[in-house]
Structure 1
């Protein structure tokens, strides 16, 4: 079932006489830029605005930054779609504009790169101790090795090493999601270096861009997306209900 007001192809919800020609606007984390830019080459009528990846390290600042971008485009967008999962509650509190807001039913972005929430659940059930890397994370040095370098500048070598090892201590594998975008040989070498340095097993998982394509052109089905009504906020409860439903199924 498509979200009310959307066509099977995800046409803007307010595509009446005054909104028919307004673009769909996707506000996404920059980690998705390599894949979204590749996909949007063949998609018309969509604008993508990227927000810095660094917000994942300070999720308490994310909602305000996302809201800022929404306010910039709300008067010129036919439909606004977020390219974010719940992201450590980072988008909790974001308020839907007059045209409403479409948000993926994902706790983080990994499901978007794997093609579906169900596939992410399957991967998690098979190996819960996996730290996932995407081309965007690796290319921007937002992987464990890159974060370690940031920590060194702040805390020094010894403390930085300890903090990073603490962050990774429950992970057994580091997995690169191969989305087919970017210089995979270089990305693969960097991902392997992460695994070797931190004593984890390396794995490569095929990516699937179908969920990311839905961000750009729909359909925005209830299976994959929340539809936030105008004036309503993104809440943690929506995602908790989703998790409980999955646990009981």
Structure 2
């Protein structure tokens, strides 16, 4: 029995569907039963997969009865990044639980404002391999991604280059476009001292919106959502080429580490 755990932000929902639906070696997918995994469940089922949905405390019994390579996924809500302390606390709780029955855990997160910069020091004796999404840009040492946009654009270096050219641009991937109101607490107004309005974004210097095309089409109304956002905020829309390379390589590295440790 070999088990990989995935803990991630819902903003990476499509990338997780992509890596799992294109992995011929994964024999069983378990989803922790919670509301954040509902969209993931539907997208995986649309790809012909049949995940097992269980409360986290029941998964271990199923794993002990199997010799399969299994993947367990626990997604967390979009918008936790606005409160790094809460993001860290919730992730660490889920990480501690999953580490009891996973051989390795891949976090579909970047550093997220340094919420996870001390992760290895905070879990020095954890009984499984632990990894954030990794930037393996040519000619540079391996390091964690800065955030989810860096992952979608192919790495920290390319992200910084694009930021220099488009400093007035707000970036949206498909899942960001579908969930921006929830992510930025637009209805709840929970971000102290900040309102997510056209005036406030313009005061911050934003004038454009970037449609980051990762090549994934699980969110069928991506273009419509971008147009709605642009119309509401009065932004010009530009197109940027993204990819799933970071997500795929990070997943492959963790999988190889677990299944083929001598080659990883």
Q: TM-score range by the shorter chain?
A: 0.5 to 0.7
How big is each residue's C-alpha offset from its partner over 1:85-117, in whole Å with a ceiling of 9 and x where there is no partner? Answer: 121233345423233421231111112112233
Please provide the CA RMSD for this pair: 2.8
* Alignment correspondent of 1:148: 186
* Alignment correspondent of 1:65: 90
CA contact (8 A) 2:175 2:219 kept: no
Question: How many residues of Structure 1 are paired with residues of Structure 2 in the alignment?
Answer: 193
Long gaps (5+) in structure 1: 1-20, 221-249
The separation in 2 between residues aligned to 1:184 and 1:33, in whole angstroms, is 10
Runs of 4+ in 1 over 6 A off after TM superposition: none
Q: Normalized against structure 2, the TM-score is what?
A: 0.63
The separation in 2 between residues aligned to 1:171 and 1:116, in whole angstroms, is 22
Q: Structure 1 residue 22: deviation in Å?
A: 2.4
Given candidates 97, 106, 131, the residue that maps to 1:102 is 131
* Alignment correspondent of 1:165: 199
Q: Normalized against structure 1, the TM-score is what?
A: 0.67
The separation in 2 between residues aligned to 1:161 and 1:121, in whole angstroms, is 24
* Alignment correspondent of 2:228: 193
The separation in 2 between residues aligned to 1:184 and 1:56, in whole angstroms, is 22
Q: Does 1:36 align with 2:16?
A: yes
Long gaps (5+) in structure 2: 27-68, 134-143, 256-264
CA contact (8 A) 2:6 2:74 kept: yes
* Alignment correspondent of 1:174: 209
Query: 3-state DSSP class of the match of 1:171?
Result: coil
CA contact (8 A) 1:22 1:76 kept: no
Given candidates 156, 165, 169, the residue that maps to 1:117 is 156
Considering Cα pairs closer than 8 Å and 6+ residues apart, tell me whether 1 or 2 has the greater RCO.
Answer: 1
CA 1:102–1:185 in 2, change beyond 3 Å: closer, same or farther?
A: closer
How big is each residue's C-alpha offset from its partner over 1:214-241, in whole Å with a ceiling of 9 and x where there is no partner? Answer: 2322279xxxxxxxxxxxxxxxxxxxxx
CA contact (8 A) 1:61 1:90 kept: no
Q: Does 1:131 align with 2:174?
A: no
CA 1:24–1:82 in 2, change beyond 3 Å: closer, same or farther?
A: same
Query: 3-state DSSP class of the match of 1:148?
Result: coil
